A and B are shown apart, each in its own frame.
Chain A
Amino acid sequence: MRTMQTEVLVIGGGATGAGVGQDLALRGFQCVLVEKRDLTHGTTGRYHGLLHSGGRYVVKDPKAAEECIEENRILRRIMPHCLEDTGGFFVATPWDDPAFGDKFMAGCQATGVPCEEISIAQMLREEPLLNPQISRCFRVPDGSADSFLATQCVGESARLHGAHILTYHEVKHLLRQGDKVIGAVCHDLVHDEDVTIYADMTVNASGAWAGQIAGTIGVEVRVMAGKGTMVAINHRVLNTVVNRCKMPADGDIIVPIHTVAVIGTTDVRVPDPEHFAIEPWEVQHMLDEGEKLIPGLKNMRMLRAWAGVRPLYQETAVADTRDVTRAYTLLDHEKRDGVSGFITITGGKWTTYRQMAQVTVDRVCEKLNTQRECRTAEEVLPHLPGFEPHHQYHTLGARLARAEAEKGFGELICECELATKQDVERAIVQGQAKTIDDVRRDVRLGMGPCQGGFCTLRVAGMWHSLKQTPVETTNVTLRDFLQERWKGLMPVLWGSQLKQERLDELIYLSVLNVDHLPGEKASRLGPKMYEPGTEMTQPHG
């Protein structure tokens, strides 16, 4: 068994864990981050894509709104290239109480979220597909965010400052010595071997899995998983984030991101973060609600569906010493459970990941008896190796402009998302991709309308030449990726997308016969499928 030693061990490679890793590294701590799959494999890679202005929370949860607008401003400064400055609307549809608009305005004022009411005519000029029956519209500084890219960049910053990021390392259990956590035993999924990591301090940033991790040493952290399902529309039907102006509920936001627009979400408690379905009623519900914002949406082509899990922390004891804001939870297990060397950070939002990391590392400093200033609010994030640095917001045409400037359009591996041969090569080699799905997260390969129809074979071809591994591993990697795309297609396969998928079958089965290539049918690095849907379970109350 391999062993490693570090000052701080961070568990979880989502936005929060990567943020903690970066903050630690910037403050000069030695740190190792372990993630059981690829970065953003958890909720961070399955969220809605909204850079909150705070507008959504001004009435329900003003504290959260304040945190959001504060972080919104910081993120616009440190990672503009991961954001689209779409702006946001809050709109009152005929199904919403127009009087809520006044409460909303007052809430924005109280929490400092910039807000302006605009005319319906102006709204329709900007977003002609919106329901003309909308009675009020407020403009706020929402945006959309690429959490794959952002987390990669945060991770890159952490690496540049000395952190070690170990992906495909799953924590099996924490190591406890008396009343102290001294590290964790991990399983390296790629090499199929165990690794023990000793650390002075262990930070549990595993989101909805936080209870499972703490449970390995008998510390009870009750985290319920709240599943949310989202559906991507094949077209970018809006250029502005659109929210319903009412108390937050299901299916009330549409976010334009890259080439698509995403409608979400539901909110359903599920027993654990690994086993849940995308239920047919959820998809139906998204379409029904979306229809209220954009008449005709139901008959548009849907691209894909996915679901992520919110960690819902529940107090277990009255005497729970919980460092709270309502938005996220920091548990100091020394104070709470008498177990030192261990803290848990969970809950929150993508938008507030940096602040969560900051308070966590502040606590680490306190525990390790040192005082070091947080610098993450000033540190502009690096670009990924090979990408031209630019300090502007990402815009829709940027990829095309780059492909044209580099004359790379003849070398497109994924035409839908404009990923070039160079991009893919970089993701495989420098990005040390372990699966084609890792390449997808890096360069958005296979995320467009054909969902891998053309690019999967091309990546497999490149993979084989670049990796120089036995060909069976390439074959299984290819099959895993086809299965990964299938996973999110099944819930929305009808109409044009069903036709498209049949073409993908024609290509991969009939023309290429990949189901009969040598090697295993699937690997342990392959996707975990959503559970099969059950007939029409009803939404919660």
Chain B
Amino acid sequence: MSNILIIGAGLAGLVAGWQAAASSTRRVRILSKGWGATHWHSGCIDVLGYYPLSNEQPVEVPLERLRLLIANEPHHPYALTGLEKIAEALTALQTLCQAAAYPLHGSLEQNWLIPTAAGALRPTCLAPQTMSAGDGRSTAPMLIVGFADTVDFYPHLIAANLTQQGIPAQGLLLEMPALQARHFNYPMTLARLMEQSDFRAEMVQRLKKQLAASPALDKAERLGFPAVLGLDNAAAIHQELEEKLGRRVFEIPGLPPSVAGIRLHHILLKAIRQAGGEVYDGLEVVRAECADDRLMQVVTENAGRPRPHRADQFVLATGGILGGGIVTDYAGRGREVVFNLPITLPHSRLDWFKQDFLDPGGHPIYQSGIRVNHIFQPVNGENQPIYPNLYAAGTTLAHAEAIRERSFEGIALTTGYTVGQLVISNYLAQGGNRGQPH
């Protein structure tokens, strides 16, 4: 029996679990089918990158545009959390990461412009220290360094695009014997190699040789690498590289799996466990059972038999269509998989998509999700909470185009944060202090 049971271990579920566990002595448990989008995303916290969506220019001051968004879109998850909670959540995550020796820099006062593995500049609110030197608002010349015998990172493409956007940049492919000898060189293997000091020493030595041999390359004031500079010791590794190479070093996010995202995932897991929370993956929640309109337990599909998990309060953070919390079928039907909650969905499958993949307004289907009230309780058509002890957080919430807005991590973080606190305070207010502390 848990007091608080959270379904989903993406950014929203983890943050909710962390907040709930940290702010009380109640028993908090997270159940998840697998890990979430932390393994795919950039490793930054995007809060608002483009708004209004038709505007091609990136948002410079997220705070200003958030005000506009909240005024325009009262149902948007950010309108439900409110500006204060957004700021608070960002600060809380920064504090946590700072303590984990992996600082995240930034604030709602300005967006970074972080180079991507395609050579575009992505507006983002919080960037890890390992990325911030790449900021595209500075025009200090760059050298983009990739590795031969890998397939995910193309320094010359990145450099050409950056140059085109006014940041002088060159590309270089480093040959590393350790990579030549291996068959698979995917981001995680690179990150693990980077954790080894002899690999780094060899890389520094080879890179220095190249820099010394070419005045053109040597002009670079900052060095960009794929975002694989270590896994759990990234900030230290980053600092060591800056010292040894004598220039600023930055990471560039690219194709999944996302090493930088996994770092955040690790930090959150640790925080939850330290606060007494529990996280279980490999448990797919398939249905729920209730009594007197109150949720009593959820059921996971396990090897051999279904297993019930009782709790007082439930938080749904299963990530919508991308996370698998909402499934759709050929007939144009959609379903929330655990509680069978009503979801918003365009009327006909014909209205799900726009003709252009990159349509700035996004495809209507992806705005479908769960409607909640001001305290994040899923509601029915009459705006009444469906269960008194159920909350929802993250990108499963309706009324946002998180990818077009570049608010993907921001929505997960801020709603997870808000709900993690709300669920505890409401629980205590409902007499939850009678529940047994662990």
Contacts and interface: CB of A to CB of B under 8 A. Distances in A.
Interface of A: 280, 283-284, 287, 298-299, 302, 407, 409-413, 421, 454, 457-458, 460-462, 464-465, 471-472, 474-475, 478-479, 482-483, 485-486, 490, 492-495, 498-499, 502-503, 505-518, 521, 529, 532-533, 535
Contact of A482 (B46, B165, B352, B357): B357
A283 B349 CA distance: 12
A375 to B, nearest CB: 43
Contacts of B327: 495
B54 interface: no
B121 interface: yes
A317 to B, nearest CB: 41
A511 B253 contact: yes
Nearest to A516: B120
B329 A506 contact: no
- The residue among A412, A483, A512 with the most chain B CB atoms within 10 A of its own CB is A512
B263 to A, nearest CB: 15
Contacts of B406: 510
B371 interface: no
B332 interface: yes
Interface of B is mostly: loop
B385 interface: no
B154 interface: yes
16 contacts: A283-B330, A411-B149, A461-B154, A461-B157, A475-B161, A483-B357, A483-B358, A485-B357, A490-B353, A495-B329, A499-B321, A503-B256, A508-B358, A516-B58, A516-B122, A518-B161
A483 B356 contact: yes
- The residue among A287, A421, A461, A475 with the most chain B CB atoms within 10 A of its own CB is A461
B118 A460 contact: yes
Q: Which 3 A-B pairs have the closest CB atoms?
A: A461-B154, A486-B357, A513-B120
B84 interface: no
Given A474-B157, A515-B360, A535 B350 contact: yes
Nearest to A479: B358
A261 to B, nearest CB: 17
B350 A512 contact: no
A312 B121 CA distance: 51
Given A461-B154, A516-B120, A516-B121, A472 B164 contact: yes
Nearest to A462: B154
Contact of A503 (B153, B322, B329, B360): B322
Contacts of A407: 183
B56 interface: yes
B255 A507 contact: yes
A471 B161 contact: yes
Given A482-B357, A483-B356, A409 B184 contact: yes
A494 B121 contact: no
A510 B256 CA distance: 12
Nearest to A413: B151
B365 interface: yes
A492 B161 CA distance: 34
Contacts of B366: 502, 505
Contact of A502 (B58, B156, B255, B322): B322
Given A498-B365, A511-B254, A506 B408 contact: yes
B118 A517 contact: yes
Contact of B151 (A458, A485, A486, A506): A458
Nearest to A510: B403
Interface residues of B, number: 59
Interface in B237-262: 253-256, 258
Nearest to A502: B322
Contacts of B322: 499, 502-503, 506
Contacts of A283: 330
B330 A460 contact: no
B358 A460 contact: no
Contacts of A509: 358, 403-404
Contacts of A472: 164
Interface in B3-51: 37, 40-42, 46
Nearest to B366: A502
- The residue among A454, A499, A521, A533 with the most chain B CB atoms within 10 A of its own CB is A499
Nearest to A478: B118
Contacts of A457: 117-118, 152, 154, 254-255
Interface string B357-377: 110100001100000000000
B279 to A, nearest CB: 23
B5 to A, nearest CB: 24
B54 to A, nearest CB: 12
A180 to B, nearest CB: 44
Contacts of A508: 358
B228 to A, nearest CB: 14
Contacts of A532: 350, 355
Given A493-B353, A511-B41, A511-B116, 15 more contacts: A410-B182, A411-B149, A457-B254, A460-B118, A462-B154, A465-B154, A475-B118, A483-B357, A506-B40, A507-B40, A507-B256, A510-B42, A511-B40, A516-B121, A517-B120
Contacts of A460: 118, 154, 157
Contact of A464 (B149, B156, B253): B156
Nearest to A521: B358
B36 to A, nearest CB: 11
A54 B111 CA distance: 65
Given A506-B41, A517-B118, A482 B358 contact: yes
